[in-house]
Amino acid sequence: METYNHTYRHHNFSHKDLSDLTFTACTFIRSDFRRANLRDTTFVNCKFIEQGDIEGCHFDVADLRDASFQQCQLAMANFSNANCYGIEFRACDLKGANFSRTNFAHQVSNRMYFCSAFISGCNLSYANMERV
């Protein structure tokens, strides 16, 4: 299912199953994605912060495995403790984003992990990568 050019303000997506959806040219202002299932979800040319805001959208503890963000504005977004194995960020503004304790690994045995994330052409200035 694809959603195109829709604006969500103060929308609560927390604990919702949004897997396998596609959002194109959508705007999410002060929206909450905490603990949401965003596995295999695609965001293209979406905005997750309004100009002048000091805090972006919350993706804390969300399932973002194999999610894709392409040409998105994600400045000041919070991804802390999210499962981001296989996530894709292409040409995104991630300035000041919080990735503390974000998981980019998949455990395949007691002592073996695969790590995967595709990040290219992104602005990561001031991003917090503590304990990644």
Query: Mind listing the domains of the chain with CATH numbers?
Result: 1-126 (2.160.20.80)
Q: Tell me the mean pLDDT in the region 32-41.
A: 98
Q: What angle (nearest 5°) sits at the alpha carbon of residue 26, between those of residues 82 and 123? A: 55
Three-state DSSP string of the chain? CEEECCEEECCECCCCECCCCEEECCEEECCECCCCECCCCEEECCECCCCCCCCCCECCCCECCCCEEECCECCCCECCCCECCCEEEECCECCCCECCCCECEEEEECCEEEECEEEECCECCCCECCCC
The pTM (predicted TM-score) of the whole model is 0.94
**Per-residue model confidence as pLDDT tens digits over 60-118:** 999 999 999 999 999 999 999 999 999 999 999 999 999 999 999 999 999 999 999 99
Under the banding of pLDDT at 50, 70 and 90, the label for residue 49 is very high
